Amino acid sequence: MKDWLVFLSEQAIVLVDTMALVVIMYGTAEICVGVVRLAFRRSSDLEKRNVWLRYARWLVAGLTFQLAADIIETSITAGWDAIGRIAAIAVVRTFLNYFLERDLAEVSAGRQEVMKS
């Protein structure tokens, strides 16, 4: 039974990491197109900020998927060294996610302030 759970967990890790990769690659392709588009025409600071904010949203989504894969991986990891490594990666990803989401919330609040005035 345990071998079957380990096998399923390993497959889930691959699937969730693949989803994270697809999300991040799509967001990166979108930002590349956006930056090239902005480079060849006149654009406001708001347009530039919106391009980067869309990228931040894709990164938050990708980091969330990667964190989920890390959590699944800890359930099948036996050694403390491996668990420590996974925990360190999870902490870094959590902090990145936190700061990206905080920046997105600040910009969103700023937009609402501008719209009210």
Q: What is the pTM of this model?
A: 0.76
Instruction: For residue 58, give every residue at least 6 positions away whose Cβ sits within 8 Å of its Cβ, in sequence order, or none.
Output: 23, 24, 26, 27, 28, 30, 31
Question: Using one digit for the tens of pLDDT, what is the confidence trace for 3-43?
Answer: 898 999 999 999 999 999 999 999 999 999 999 988 888 88
Contact between 62 and 29 under an 8 Å Cβ cutoff? The reply is: no
Q: Distances from the Cα of 51 to the Cαs of 18, 48, 113, in angstroms? A: 24, 5, 20
pLDDT (0 to 100) of residue 23: 97
Q: Which helix (H) or strand (E) holds 2?
A: helix 2-39
Give the residue, 115 or 47, on which the prediction is more confident.
47
Task: Tell me what percent of the residues of the chain surpass a pLDDT of 90.
Answer: 29
Report the distance separating Cα 71 and Cα 76, nearest Å.
9
**DSSP character at residue 40:** T
